[in-house]
Chain A
Amino acid sequence: MAAPTINREHTGGAGATGDRPATQTVTLAKALNSGLRAAMERDPRVIVMGEDVGRLGGVFRITDGLQKDFGEQRVLDTPLAESGIIGTAIGLALRGYRPVCEIQFDGFVFPGFDQMVSQLAKLHYRSQGKLKVPVVVRVPHGGGIGAVEHHSESPESYFAHTAGLKVVACANAVDAYWMIQQAIACDDPVMFFEPKRRYWEKAELDTTAEPDPLFQSRVVRPGSTATVVAYGPMVKTALDAATAAEDDGHAIEVIDLRTLSPLDLEPVFDSVRRTGHLVVVSEASAEASLTSEVAARVQQECFYSLEAPVLRVTGFDTPYPPSKCEEDFLPDLDRILDAVDRSLAY
């Protein structure tokens, strides 16, 4: 697939300027900040807009320092209304800008949903390609931070269900750095989900490396006993589960979906054909979700390879509970391993 290419000579930001080494240890939050900075340095039409993204640098500090360096016309502290953010970003995109919108928390995305579904997703189709709306909408998603209601949700399936939008989810700092730049370079609107409880986890980032294409899934841990598919904040949980399963003699293969729409399931099919067992993991509720889609597609493509039904480990089919309950609500290492065991024992 034609994925946006990032010119690594102009990455800027972390590690690429001055005499600093190319490889640095950075948090996922800092990697996003550096990626945004690199995109803004590369293309003067890239603008950042959202609530508190300017002077404050965003409530998670993802846009920290950008307004100071790029000015108030490229980093816009917007009025407090999400439909307005998305709706005006569309107009700016029609004018030739590449807006990167920040939705402050997952649960606040819905006032902007109408503009995303009715305009952002459909303008290219409606105009038969005469109009491009390269808007990126960044959404911190997922729970696990002890927050109040509306601050821990996983709404990505709504957007994956919407034709015309592309949806990606980064799971680590390295991907965060590259994927945000690739999303900005993409001519389609991209929903960009960020695993908020992983914002402060660190990784070694080499800004001179060759990034994977944006719309590709990736095997992040090879194995042969069973396949576990996850995305966003659940990738680390799945990896932890795979590590723990070594003690039981299980070699679990973990796949990070990375792209949620379009789905890139060839690596999953390849894996399931080898392992015969699949567990799909997501914080989102199970019903009519991305995990449903993965399960359906795998049974369609890998019917004779499956040695057990596809199992899912997800948030329950409830609204997000009060945070004192979230440890039970969120999939964890034990629930993933329990599902692997049930699959293997089938």
Chain B
Amino acid sequence: MSSPDTPQPRDVVPVGAPTATAAKPTAEQVIAGLRATTEGGEDLVQLLTPEGERIEHPAFAIEATAEDLCALYRDMVLIRRADREANALQRQGQLGIWVPLLGQEAAQIGAGRAMRPQDMAFPSYREHGVAWCRGVDPTELLGIFRGTDHGSWDPVATNFHLYTIVIGNQCLNAAGYAMGQRFDGKVGDENGEATIVFFGDGATSQGDVHEGMVWAAVYDAPLVFYCQNNQWAISEPLERQTRVPLYQRARGYGFPGIRVDGNDVLACLAVTRWALDECRTGNGPVLIEAFTYRMDAHTTSDDPTRYRLADELELWKLKDPIERVRVHLVREGMADQSFFDAIQAESDELATRFRDYCINMPSPGPERIFANVYAEESPPLAAQRDEFLAYHASFADGGDH
């Protein structure tokens, strides 16, 4: 502790300078393209190193057979392939926009595979890997980005809520859903239910994320807050959102916070499984910070070369979530070339099917504008619809102009 007489560093900041500079990277860090956030710190939970070495963690032991690891590898390869195909489809004019997943496969597959069928997920808009784990076919993601729907999968049948685009909103919706799980008496033993909500580092600045954590805490909601810290909120680095590591915020709400290597699918699986079990047995909520990296742009409309250095990406490529599993499988003799060839072939098939589906998606007709605005019809809206559809049909070509 310093005495009040001791000049503190902030006292010598020139008048007019921002006072909250503690989180700003140094000039040397910027020039090097290496910011403090490239390392997860000593609290990072890791079970598979970037070099593919299996290591143990005292709190998060996990049994992973060769079969388990091969399945996780397959998940990540296939969803990355769909993601890359979608990115290409946007570049070819087939999609209006795409939100790349690249680099976050382990964070999402690990979390998604930790879920049990009775668990509920609330995604943001980048959770293609979680969707995959919930049985949502990648083609069902396309409509949002091609402009044919706002989300076509059945959120009740899949226990995977529709994508939420307004940043952070879903944290409150998830908190309410999890409260309902508890009110329904579905929490309290190993067969209980839990909810997991996905959001990013940028979202942690939103009031709704804060309120979601308050609600989940005071109602003992079985909710896992799963923050994929991919270091960038479009152009804004993590330093614009926080002074402290995000997982440490949980302490202020009164529940555990864990930082996991978000590029380590095994660690993400183990930590999320533990967190969901904590929740289903009545010890929720839990915050997980999956420390990862957005290897592509925020969306296909974004240009990361304007705000970050290529060196940073190169460093994170060494931590690739898929490569470390492949190396481990090969080194340990858990998979041979025929396995990798089969995955490659399956990946090619998925890409072809995905592309064909996208290109042949029908556009909705004008009646879609008016459909399902209300559960119980609004007469003025019905009149507006009928008037427009009659106008539309009045053209000689049946409105197809």
Tell me, yes or no, whether B273 is within 8 Å of chain A by CB.
Answer: no
Q: Say yes or no: B180 contacts A166, CB within 8 Å.
A: no
Q: Say yes or no: A128 contacts B372, CB within 8 Å.
A: yes
Q: Once bound together, how far apart are the Cα atoms of A3 and B162, in whole Å?
A: 29
Tell me, yes or no, whether B133 is within 8 Å of chain A by CB.
Answer: no
Contact A88-B176, Cβ < 8 Å, known A128-B372, A129-B372: yes
Q: Once bound together, how far apart are the Cα atoms of A306 and B177, in whole Å?
A: 52
Q: Which residue of B lies closest to A126 (CB)?
A: B150
Residues of A within 8 A of B372 (CB): 124-125, 127-129
A134-167 interface with B by 8 A CB criterion: 134, 163-164, 166
Q: Flag B221-265 by CB within 8 Å of A: 1 or 0 each.
A: 000000000000000000000000000000000000000000000
Interface residues on B, range: 35 or more
Tell me, yes or no, whether B214 is within 8 Å of chain A by CB.
Answer: yes
Contact A81-B211, Cβ < 8 Å, known A91-B178, A262-B378: yes
Q: Say yes or no: A129 contacts B151, CB within 8 Å.
A: no
B244 to chain A: closest CB distance in Å? 22
Interface-lining segment among B64-72, B167-175, B318-326, B337-345: B167-175
Q: Once bound together, how far apart are the Cα atoms of A263 and B212, in whole Å?
A: 35
Q: Once bound together, how far apart are the Cα atoms of A188 and B374, in whole Å?
A: 6
Residues of B within 8 A of A84 (CB): 172, 175, 208, 211-212, 214-215
B375: which of A115, A126, A187, A263 is its contact (CB, 8 Å)? A187
B102 to chain A: closest CB distance in Å? 26
Residues of A within 8 A of B373 (CB): 124-125, 163-164
Interface-lining segment among A94-102, A243-251, A279-287, A313-321: A94-102
Q: Once bound together, how far apart are the Cα atoms of A260 and B161, in whole Å?
A: 31
A115 to chain B: closest CB distance in Å? 6
Residues of B within 8 A of A262 (CB): 378-381
A93 to chain B: closest CB distance in Å? 8
Q: Once bound together, how far apart are the Cα atoms of A187 and B375, in whole Å?
A: 6
B180: which of A92, A115, A264 is its contact (CB, 8 Å)? A92
Q: Flag B160-192 by CB within 8 Å of A: 1 or 0 each.
A: 011010100101111111111101100000000
Residues of B within 8 A of A86 (CB): 172
Q: Say yes or no: B156 contacts A130, CB within 8 Å.
A: yes
Interface residues on A, range: 35 or more
A63-104 interface with B by 8 A CB criterion: 73, 78-79, 81, 83-84, 86-97
Residues of B within 8 A of A96 (CB): 180
B183: which of A73, A87, A128 is its contact (CB, 8 Å)? A73
B281 to chain A: closest CB distance in Å? 19
Residues of B within 8 A of A37 (CB): none
Residues of A within 8 A of B174 (CB): 91
Residues of B within 8 A of A119 (CB): 164, 166, 169, 173
B172: which of A88, A124, A187 is its contact (CB, 8 Å)? A88
Q: Say yes or no: B155 contacts A83, CB within 8 Å.
A: no
Tell me, yes or no, whether A114 is within 8 Å of chain B by CB.
Answer: yes
Tell me, yes or no, whether A1 is within 8 Å of chain B by CB.
Answer: yes
Q: Say yes or no: A125 contacts B150, CB within 8 Å.
A: yes
Tell me, yes or no, whether B31 is within 8 Å of chain A by CB.
Answer: no
Tell me, yes or no, whether B376 is within 8 Å of chain A by CB.
Answer: yes
B252 to chain A: closest CB distance in Å? 14
A263: which of B183, B215, B374, B380 is its contact (CB, 8 Å)? B380
Residues of A within 8 A of B178 (CB): 91
Residues of A within 8 A of B183 (CB): 47, 73, 92, 97
A94: which of B173, B207, B371 is its contact (CB, 8 Å)? B173
Q: Flag A246-283 by CB within 8 Å of B: 1 or 0 each.
A: 00000000000000011110000000000000000000
Q: Say yes or no: A92 contacts B155, CB within 8 Å.
A: no
Residues of B within 8 A of A134 (CB): 375
A166: which of B156, B164, B374, B379 is its contact (CB, 8 Å)? B374
Q: Say yes or no: B208 contacts A92, CB within 8 Å.
A: no
Residues of B within 8 A of A3 (CB): 376
B219 to chain A: closest CB distance in Å? 8
Q: Which residue of B lies closest to A297 (CB)?
A: B380
A133 to chain B: closest CB distance in Å? 9
Q: Say yes or no: B214 contacts A92, CB within 8 Å.
A: no
Q: Once bound together, how far apart are the Cα atoms of A158 and B371, in whole Å?
A: 22
Q: Hey, which bits of chain A sit against chain B, CB under 8 A?
A: 1-4, 47, 73, 78-79, 81, 83-84, 86-97, 111, 114-115, 118-119, 122-132, 134, 163-164, 166, 186-188, 261-264
- Offer 22 A-B interface pairs, CB within 8 angstroms, sorted by A: A1-B376, A88-B173, A89-B176, A92-B183, A94-B173, A94-B176, A95-B184, A114-B208, A115-B208, A118-B166, A125-B371, A126-B150, A127-B151, A127-B155, A127-B372, A128-B371, A129-B372, A132-B375, A164-B373, A164-B374, A166-B374, A261-B378
Q: A87-B173, A127-B162 are in contact. List 6 more A-B contacts (CB 8 A).
A: A92-B177, A115-B172, A115-B208, A124-B372, A125-B371, A128-B152
| The 7 A-B residue pairs with the shortest CB-CB distance in the complex, in nearest-first order | A91-B176, A87-B172, A95-B180, A88-B176, A187-B375, A91-B177, A84-B211
